[in-house]
Amino acid sequence: MIVKNFITGPLATNSYLIIAEKEGVVIDAGGDMSELIQAVRKEKITIRYIIATHGHFDHIMGVNQLKREFPSSLFLVNEKDLGLLKRASGMAQSFLNLSISDVVKPDGFVKEGDEIELGREKLRIIETPGHTMGSICVLANGYIFTGDTLFYGTVGRTDLGGSEKLLRESLEKLKKLPDEIIVYPGHGPFTVLGYEKVKNPFLTMDILP
């Protein structure tokens, strides 16, 4: 499995292209997807899914651009963020000067334990509410895409449709995963889960979100 990162949008969102056997999944289409689209065309990848780790505008701004380029792809999000997604579409419109017809609409929903096939690989959905009520992480073989749940040295804020209590519970869930897992967050540098367990004050509980 190959992971490529593209920094996109006004909030420097990490948009990821995951490739396995000429099939691809995009996680968090955060802005202009032109560079990612060029990479897909060059490598002759078939985009199967576009997954949003949550419904904030800076993680869905590029979805419709991808859907126009790859109409057979399916946009997936957790259903608990559906209302948030509708509001986020309005914010995306203001940034991109879109019409009302360009509101981002999911093709389906993902929930805890769902598995998405990518070539011979599988991506597993972990529900991690807290940053938003419908926040998810996507677990692959040796990697986890954490959206705005977990960053290098910190965690996502909870005052934009989230819950401090649920975020604490989600962090405890992530702490049970193996130390060697590479963490690909929604913003900022990559990290390793074992390092975060020891050094991240929100995981060591030196600071409570």
* 128: pLDDT strictly greater than 80: yes
Domain holding 166, by residue range, is: 1-202
Evaluate whether residue 192 is within a structural domain: yes
pLDDT in tens, 33-78: 999 999 999 999 999 999 999 999 899 999 999 999 999 999 999 9
Evaluate whether residue 208 is within a structural domain: no
Alpha-carbon 40 to chain mean position: 18
Evaluate whether residue 207 is within a structural domain: no
Q: What is the pLDDT of residue 98?
A: 45
* 186: pLDDT strictly greater than 90: yes
Q: Using an 8 Å Cβ cutoff, are 96 and 72 in contact? A: no
Evaluate whether residue 150 is within a structural domain: yes
Evaluate whether residue 94 is within a structural domain: yes
Domain at 123, CATH number: 3.60.15.10
DSSP string computed for the chain: -EEEEEEETTTTEEEEEEEETTEEEEE---S--HHHHHHHHHHT-EEEEEE-SS--GGGTTTHHHHHHH-TT-EEEE-GGGHHHHHHHHHHHHHHHT--GGG----SEE--TT-EEEETTEEEEEEE-TTSSTT-EEEE-SSEEEEETTEETTEE--STTT--HHHHHHHHHHHHTS-TTPEEEESSS--EEHHHHHHH-HHHHTSS--
Q: How far apart are CA 16 and CA 77, in angstroms?
A: 15
How many structural domains compose the chain? 1
Evaluate whether residue 6 is within a structural domain: yes
* 97: pLDDT strictly greater than 70: no
Evaluate whether residue 209 is within a structural domain: no
Give, in degrees to the nearest 5, the angle at Cα 31 between 127 and 19. 60
Residue matched to tokens 């995306």? 92
Q: Using an 8 Å Cβ cutoff, are 106 and 59 in contact? A: no
Evaluate whether residue 112 is within a structural domain: yes
Q: What is the pLDDT of residue 104?
A: 81
Give, in degrees to the nearest 5, the angle at Cα 181 between 176 and 183. 100
pLDDT classification of 100: cutoffs 50, 70, 90: very low
